[in-house]
């Protein structure tokens, strides 16, 4: 898609989509008591929430000028549970590892040196995906640290009638895949599904969801008001163009990496076209990309070298 096509698509959009991370954050991270976020989280987590407090309601400075800075919502539930919500529109093929890193960043600041681990609170990460990623037969995957199935040769009867299934209950990740949800077409019976219809932008289903959920109705109204605001639409366009620019540069970097890989492969007598080649070839590509100003994370995605390997370069 060209830049002009992106602009045209954005300007033809009647209601700003909640799958855009900027719009999502504006709707669900307001400073005041946010009953919509509370209702959404109750639908996802299936718990009763007395209080939800957004910890980062403000937008980062120069967010619209950044190539693609990450926008998320960090919150506290019932003064106990630490929470992070991420809206992702494009598959970057690293979600499994990235979600683990993000969760660890939420967990580690909870304890100061010398604190006892028993004071660690529950931490939950929620990833809402506008693409399918996992090979599972559900649109709502919930991940914990679980024990593997016991090997027969390592079994010992310790008298436990019921064994522990979880290593800890304090780490939890939710993945919601919107295309799978649409394919399932579950109706509007559950609170989660009412909210997911609003996220997908399906008009008929949204109308039904509004009739049974006042919070969905309120969020839809806010979206409509926001969509009629020229400033909000301008910011949405800038965000979409930043996304287009970022991924265009990533694709260009991949092409550069491929071309450099072929050149190095020829010089080393490696079969032409085998881009990944030897590890040393990847390092040569990484060095050139560093000199060209690419970020380490971007280089890692393209060359498949670890961040640590690239940092050593």
> For 290-308, what is each residue's pLDDT tens digit?
776 677 877 887 888 888 8
Over 80: is that where the pLDDT of 212 sits? yes
Highest mean pLDDT pick, 51-60, 198-207, 265-274: 198-207
Domain boundaries, the chain: 3-228, 240-312
> Is residue 64 over pLDDT 50?
yes
pLDDT tens column, 4-37 = 887 888 788 889 999 999 999 999 998 666 899 9
- Average pLDDT over the chain reads 86
pLDDT classification of 179: cutoffs 50, 70, 90: very high
What is the reported pLDDT for 273? Answer: 37
With vertex at residue 177, the alpha carbon angle to CA 303 and CA 106, rounded to the nearest 5 degrees, is: 65
Quote the pLDDT of residue 140.
98
User: Cα-flanking dihedrals φ and ψ of residue 151, to 5°?
Assistant: -75, 140
Which pLDDT score, from 0 to 100, does residue 92 have?
78
Of 184-198, 206-220, 264-278, the range with the lowest mean pLDDT is 264-278
pLDDT at 265 over 80: no
Q: Where are the alpha helices (DSSP H) in the chain?
A: 3-12, 21-28, 35-45, 95-107, 178-184, 191-200, 203-212, 214-227, 230-267, 279-291, 296-303, 307-312
- Which residue in this structure is represented by tokens 């967990």? 107
- For residues 243 and 238, give the distance between their C-alpha atoms in angstroms, rounded to a whole number: 9
Most confident range, picked from 1-10, 60-69, 163-172, 277-286: 163-172
Separation of alpha carbons 91 and 89, rounded Å: 7
pLDDT at 275: 43
- Nearest Cα residue to 28 out of 100, 109, 126: 126
CB atoms < 10 A from the CB of 80, how many? 9
Prediction pTM value: 0.79
- Does residue 284 register a pLDDT over 90? no
Task: Return the minimum-mean-pLDDT range out of 217-221, 252-256, 298-302.
Answer: 252-256
Q: Are 75 and 99 in contact (CB under 8 A)?
A: no
Q: How does pLDDT run across 139-171, given as a tens digit for each residue? A: 999 999 999 999 999 999 999 988 889 999 999
Confidence of residue 91 (pLDDT cuts 50, 70, 90): confident
Q: Which residues contact 123 (CB under 8 A, 6 or more apart)?
A: 81, 82, 83, 103, 106, 107, 110, 170, 171, 172
Tell me what pLDDT residue 36 has: 96
Per-residue confidence at 258, pLDDT binned at 50, 70, 90? low
Q: 67-71, 104-108, 159-163, 265-269: which has the minimum mean pLDDT?
A: 265-269
């Amino acid at each position: 898609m060209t830049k002009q096509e992106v602009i045209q698509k954005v300007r033809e959009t009647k209601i700003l989509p909640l799958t855009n991370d900027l719009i999502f954050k504006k709707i669900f991270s307001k400073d005041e008591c946010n009953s919509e976020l509370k209702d959404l989280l109750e639908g996802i987590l299936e718990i009763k929430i007395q209080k939800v407090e957004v910890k980062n309601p403000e937008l980062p400075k120069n967010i619209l000028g950044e190539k693609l800075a990450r926008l998320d919502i960090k919150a506290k539930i019932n003064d106990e549970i630490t929470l992070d919500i991420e809206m992702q529109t494009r598959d970057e093929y690293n979600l499994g590892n990235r979600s683990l890193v993000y969760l660890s960043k939420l967990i580690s600041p909870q304890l100061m040196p010398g604190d006892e681990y028993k004071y660690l609170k529950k931490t939950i990460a929620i990833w809402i995906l506008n693409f399918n990623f996992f090979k599972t037969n559900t649109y709502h995957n919930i991940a914990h640290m679980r024990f593997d199935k016991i090997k027969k040769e390592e079994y010992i009867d310790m008298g436990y009638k019921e064994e522990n299934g979880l290593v800890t209950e304090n780490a939890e990740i939710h993945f919601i895949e919107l295309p799978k949800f649409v394919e399932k077409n579950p109706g509007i019976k559950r609170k989660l599904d009412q909210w997911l219809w609003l996220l997908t932008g399906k008009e008929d289903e949204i109308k039904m969801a509004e009739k049974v959920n006042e919070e969905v109705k309120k969020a839809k109204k806010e979206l409509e008001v926001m969509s009629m605001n020229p400033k909000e639409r301008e910011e949405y366009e800038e965000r979409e163009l930043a996304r287009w620019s970022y991924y265009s540069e990533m694709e260009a970097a991949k092409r550069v990496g491929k071309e450099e890989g072929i050149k190095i492969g020829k010089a080393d007598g490696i079969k032409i076209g085998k881009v990944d080649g030897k590890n040393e070839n990847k390092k040569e590509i990484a060095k050139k990309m560093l000199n060209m100003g690419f970020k380490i994370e971007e280089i890692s995605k393209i060359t498949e070298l670890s961040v640590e390997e690239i940092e050593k370069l």
